[in-house]
Chain A
Amino acid sequence: MPGLADLLEEANRQVTICNACRYCEGYCAVFPALERRSILREGDLALLANLCHDCRACYQACMYAPPHEFAVNIPAVMSDARLESYRRYAWPGVFAGLIARPGWAAAGASLLVGLLALVAVVLRAGLAGLFVAQTGPGAFYRLIAYELMVAAGLGVAAAAAAILVGGFYRFWRDAGGRGRTLLDWRLWTVALQDGVSLRYLGGGGGGCHYPDAMRPSPARRVYHHVLLAGFALSFAATVAAAVEQDLLGLLPPYPLLSPPVLLGVAGGLGLVVGASGLLVMKRHEMAAAPGLAGPRARALDAAFLILVEVVAVTGILLLVMRATAAMGPMLVAHLGAVGGLFVTAPYGKFVHAVHRFAALLHDQAETRTT
Chain B
Amino acid sequence: MPNVNTPDLLVIGGGNAGLCAALTAADRGARVLLLEKTSAAWRGGNSKYTRNIRVAGPEYTEDEFLADLVAVTGEGIDRELAALAVDRSRGAAEWMEAHGARWQPPFRGTLQLARTNRFFLGGGKALLNVYYDRAVRAGVEVRYRAEVASLRLANGRFSAVEVDLPQGRREVSARAVVVASGGFESNLEWLRRYWGGAVDNYLIRGTSANDGRLLRQLLDAGAMERGNPRGFHAVACDARSPRYEGGIVTRIDSVPFGIVVNREGRRFADEGEDLWPKRYATWGRLIALEPDQLAFSVFDSRVRERFIPPLFPPYEADSIEGLAGQMKVDPAALAATVQAFNGAVDPDLPYDIARLDGCGTRGLQPPKSNWALPIDRPPFFAYPMRPGITFTYLAVGVDRTARVLDGSGQPLENVFAAGEVMAGNILLNGYVGGVGLTIGTVFGQIAGEEAAAYARAG
Chain A positions within 8 Å of B, measured between CB atoms, are: 16-17, 19-27, 32, 35, 38, 57-58, 60-64, 66-70, 204-206, 214-215
| A61 & B248 in contact (Cβ 8 Å cutoff) | no
| A60 & B248 in contact (Cβ 8 Å cutoff) | no
Within 8 Å by CB of A204, from B119, B121, B124, lies: B121
Query: Complex formed: what's the CA distance from A348 to B134 in Å?
Result: 40
Residue of B nearest to A18 (CB): B249
Within 8 Å by CB of A25, from B104, B126, B247, B248, lies: B104
| B42 & A60 in contact (Cβ 8 Å cutoff) | no
Within 8 Å by CB of B121, from A19, A22, A26, A67, lies: A26
Q: Could you count the A-B residue pairs with CB atoms below 8 Å apart for me: how many are there?
A: 84
Residues of B within 8 A of A25 (CB): 104, 107-108
| A26 & B104 in contact (Cβ 8 Å cutoff) | yes
| A20 & B311 in contact (Cβ 8 Å cutoff) | yes
Residue of B nearest to A214 (CB): B133
- Given contacts A63-B48, A68-B245, are A22 and B126 in contact (CB under 8 A)? no
Interface assignment of B105: CB less than 8 Å from any CB of chain A: yes
19 further interface pairs, Cβ-Cβ under 8 Å (given A26-B103, A205-B102): A21-B247, A22-B107, A22-B110, A23-B123, A23-B126, A23-B248, A24-B122, A24-B123, A25-B107, A27-B121, A32-B108, A35-B108, A60-B129, A63-B48, A63-B247, A64-B249, A205-B121, A214-B133, A215-B133
Residue of A nearest to B49 (CB): A63
- Given contacts A63-B123, A214-B133, are A26 and B105 in contact (CB under 8 A)? yes
| B123 & A19 in contact (Cβ 8 Å cutoff) | no
Q: How far is the CB of A46 from chain B (nearest CB, A)?
A: 23
Query: Complex formed: what's the CA distance from A21 to B55 in Å?
Result: 22
| B108 & A61 in contact (Cβ 8 Å cutoff) | no
Within 8 Å by CB of A63, from B103, B104, B124, B133, lies: B124
| A38 & B105 in contact (Cβ 8 Å cutoff) | no
| B122 & A27 in contact (Cβ 8 Å cutoff) | yes
Chain B residues with a Cβ closer than 8 Å to the other chain, count: 33
Residues of B within 8 A of A22 (CB): 107-110, 308
| A38 & B309 in contact (Cβ 8 Å cutoff) | yes
| B133 & A58 in contact (Cβ 8 Å cutoff) | no
- Those 4 A-B pairs whose CB atoms lie nearest each other, nearest first: A26-B104, A23-B123, A61-B122, A61-B126
Q: How far is the CB of A306 from chain B (nearest CB, A)?
A: 33
Of the A-B pairs whose beta carbons lie under 8 Å apart in the complex, a sample of 5, sorted by A's number, is: A26-B105, A26-B121, A35-B109, A61-B123, A64-B249
Q: Which chain B residues numbered 21 to 78 have a C-beta less than 8 Å away from chain A?
A: 41-42, 44, 48-49, 51
Query: Complex formed: what's the CA distance from A22 to B105 in Å?
Result: 12
| A16 & B311 in contact (Cβ 8 Å cutoff) | yes
Interface bits B303-320 vs A (CB < 8 Å: 1, else 0): 000001111000000000
Residues of B within 8 A of A21 (CB): 123, 247-249
Query: Complex formed: what's the CA distance from A4 to B104 in Å?
Result: 34
Interface assignment of B242: CB less than 8 Å from any CB of chain A: yes
- Most B C-beta atoms less than 10 A away, residue of A26, A35, A205: A26
Interface assignment of B125: CB less than 8 Å from any CB of chain A: yes
Residues of A within 8 A of B248 (CB): 20-21, 23
Within 8 Å by CB of B122, from A38, A58, A64, A68, lies: A58
Q: How far is the CB of B203 from chain A (nearest CB, A)?
A: 14
Chain A at the B interface: SS class: loop
Q: How far is the CB of A39 from chain B (nearest CB, A)?
A: 11
Q: Which chain B residues numbered 349 to 364 have a C-beta less than 8 Å away from chain A?
A: none
Q: How far is the CB of A73 from chain B (nearest CB, A)?
A: 13
Q: How far is the CB of B367 from chain A (nearest CB, A)?
A: 30
Query: Complex formed: what's the CA distance from A344 to B334 in Å?
Result: 64
Q: How far is the CB of A71 from chain B (nearest CB, A)?
A: 12
| B308 & A19 in contact (Cβ 8 Å cutoff) | yes
| A62 & B129 in contact (Cβ 8 Å cutoff) | no
Q: Which chain B residues numbered 292 to 336 have a C-beta less than 8 Å away from chain A?
A: 308-311
| A204 & B122 in contact (Cβ 8 Å cutoff) | yes
| B309 & A19 in contact (Cβ 8 Å cutoff) | yes
Within 8 Å by CB of B309, from A20, A57, A204, lies: A20
- Given contacts A35-B108, A63-B49, are A20 and B249 in contact (CB under 8 A)? yes
Interface bits B242-254 vs A (CB < 8 Å: 1, else 0): 1001011100000
Query: Complex formed: what's the CA distance from A21 to B308 in Å?
Result: 8
| A67 & B42 in contact (Cβ 8 Å cutoff) | yes
Query: Complex formed: what's the CA distance from A206 to B107 in Å?
Result: 20
Q: How far is the CB of A27 from chain B (nearest CB, A)?
A: 7
Q: How far is the CB of B119 from chain A (nearest CB, A)?
A: 8
| A62 & B102 in contact (Cβ 8 Å cutoff) | no
Query: Complex formed: what's the CA distance from A57 to B126 in Å?
Result: 8
Q: How far is the CB of A183 from chain B (nearest CB, A)?
A: 29
Within 8 Å by CB of A69, from B44, B126, B242, B310, lies: B242
- Given contacts A23-B248, A25-B107, are A57 and B122 in contact (CB under 8 A)? yes
Interface bits B83-126 vs A (CB < 8 Å: 1, else 0): 00000000000000000001111011110000000010111111
Query: Complex formed: what's the CA distance from A1 to B121 in Å?
Result: 32
Query: Complex formed: what's the CA distance from A27 to B126 in Å?
Result: 11
Q: How far is the CB of B310 from chain A (nearest CB, A)?
A: 5
Residues of A within 8 A of B42 (CB): 67
Q: How far is the CB of A106 from chain B (nearest CB, A)?
A: 37
| A26 & B122 in contact (Cβ 8 Å cutoff) | yes
Residues of B within 8 A of A57 (CB): 122, 126
| A64 & B133 in contact (Cβ 8 Å cutoff) | no
Residues of A within 8 A of B41 (CB): 66-67
Query: Complex formed: what's the CA distance from A69 to B247 in Å?
Result: 12
Residues of A within 8 A of B123 (CB): 21, 23-24, 61, 63
Q: How far is the CB of B241 from chain A (nearest CB, A)?
A: 10
| B125 & A62 in contact (Cβ 8 Å cutoff) | yes
Residues of B within 8 A of A214 (CB): 129, 132-133
Residues of A within 8 A of B49 (CB): 63
Residue of A nearest to B206 (CB): A63
- Most B C-beta atoms less than 10 A away, residue of A23, A25, A204, A214: A23
Query: Complex formed: what's the CA distance from A22 to B309 in Å?
Result: 11
Query: Complex formed: what's the CA distance from A62 to B122 in Å?
Result: 8
| A20 & B108 in contact (Cβ 8 Å cutoff) | no
Q: How far is the CB of B379 from chain A (nearest CB, A)?
A: 15
Residues of B within 8 A of A60 (CB): 122, 125-126, 129
Residue of B nearest to A370 (CB): B108
Query: Complex formed: what's the CA distance from A25 to B110 in Å?
Result: 12
Query: Complex formed: what's the CA distance from A63 to B108 in Å?
Result: 20
Query: Complex formed: what's the CA distance from A165 to B41 in Å?
Result: 44
Q: How far is the CB of A68 from chain B (nearest CB, A)?
A: 6
Interface bits B230-273 vs A (CB < 8 Å: 1, else 0): 00000000000010010111000000000000000000000000
| B125 & A63 in contact (Cβ 8 Å cutoff) | yes
Query: Complex formed: what's the CA distance from A37 to B133 in Å?
Result: 35
